[in-house]
Amino acid sequence: MAVTKFGDNDVLIAVDLQNDFCPGGALAVSRANEIVPIVNRLAARFRNVVLTQDWHPRGHLSFASSHPGKRPFETVAASYGPQVLWPDHCVQETPGAQFHRSLQIPHAGLVLRKGADPAIDSYSTFYENDRKTPTGLVGYLRERGLTRLFLAGLALDFCVRYSAEDARREGFAVFVVEDACRGIDIDGSVAATRASLGAIGVPCLSTRDFAALPTA
Ligand code: VGL
Ligand code: ZN
């Protein structure tokens, strides 16, 4: 599935490039700041860009602090299945939830916030962790004729992974731009992500693969 050109049906989905996921943030992903300029350059080549923003209320179910005696990175049983617990992060209207100050994608057409339901986490930008509550992004993309999705951002092994899997299931062509992602890597989750994406036929590309492409 070679990409020969970016066009009107292509969309870059830049996932959760927020302060709390960058070094110094509450749920810092190692070397996350390195991808901000990479994503900026990549986004400049797309007419269509969607930004996603993790956007939790205080006391969110995914926060370890909401479960007495539990610590971050432990798992609890939520009503919809196992849920990893995180440090408090991306709390609505806090600096940690803001986009990285160097992120510059003024032409982004949509900022999609997720994780706002206090009782359901949302890794995927398509469906919440109950696997059935839609965010509306499928409808947005379909209505606008966007059929080929390029995913970049944070974290490779959570929000990017689950978004890619849901997008495939919805029938979109999906590519992960791996050098424009960074992972959290809990218990082999990055390796599991590569295996899962490989199994469902989602290519992991590098921005170098696009270097020589004409941009439509
Ligand atoms: C994410 C854990 C918790 C992500 C969001 O953006 O990958 N990971 N919330
Ligand atoms: Zn979150």
Per-residue pLDDT, averaged over 173-199, amounts to 97
- Encoded amino acid at 172, one letter: F
**Structural domains in the chain, sorted by start:** 10-57+91-212 (3.40.50.850)
Phi, psi angles (nearest 5°) of residue 202 = -100, 110
Kindly identify the ligand whose nearest atom is closest to the C-alpha of 115: 2
Residue 165 CB-half CA count within 13 A: 21
Per-residue pLDDT, averaged over 141-161, amounts to 98
User: Is 204 assigned a catalytic role?
Assistant: no
Query: Alpha carbon of 190 to those of 31, 49, 136, 168: distances in Å?
Result: 15, 25, 27, 19
Residue 52 CB-half CA count within 13 A: 29
Per-residue pLDDT, averaged over 155-177, amounts to 98
Average pLDDT value for the chain:
96
- Predicted local distance difference test score (pLDDT) of residue 216: 52
- Predicted local distance difference test score (pLDDT) of residue 4: 74
Res 171 pLDDT > 90: yes
Q: Which of 123, 166, 193 to mutate to test the pocket of ligand 1 (most atoms within 8 A of CB)?
A: 123
Crossing angle of helices 189-199 and 161-169, in 10° steps, is 20
Q: Atom of ligand 1 at shortest distance to CA of 56? A: 9
Which residues have any ligand 1 atom within 6 Å of their CB?
16, 54, 86, 123, 154-155, 158-159
Task: Characterize the bridge pairing of strands 49-54 and 10-15.
Answer: parallel
pLDDT confidence of 166, banded at 50, 70, 90? very high
- Condensed to tens digits (0 to 9), the pLDDT of residues 1-41 reads 678 778 999 999 999 999 999 999 999 999 999 999 999 99
User: Is 114 assigned a catalytic role?
Assistant: yes
Beta bridge partners of 99: 18
In the chain, the DSSP E strands lie at 10-15, 49-54, 75-78, 81-84, 110-114, 148-154, 173-182, 204-205
pLDDT confidence of 212, banded at 50, 70, 90? confident
- Predicted local distance difference test score (pLDDT) of residue 20: 98
- Predicted local distance difference test score (pLDDT) of residue 214: 66
CA 21, chain centre distance (Å): 11
Classify 80 as helix, strand or coil: coil
Per-residue pLDDT, averaged over 188-216, amounts to 90
- Atom 2 of ligand 1: nearest residue by CA position: 158
- Atom 8 of ligand 1: nearest residue by CA position: 158
% of the chain beyond a pLDDT of 70:
98
- Predicted local distance difference test score (pLDDT) of residue 213: 73
Are 87 and 27 a contacting pair, CB within 8 Å?
yes
Helices (H), the chain: 35-43, 137-143, 161-169, 189-199
Whether the CA torsion 15, 179, 186, 171 is positive or negative: it is positive
- Condensed to tens digits (0 to 9), the pLDDT of residues 67-83 reads 999 999 999 999 999 99
% of the chain beyond a pLDDT of 90:
94
Kindly identify the ligand whose nearest atom is closest to the C-alpha of 161: 1
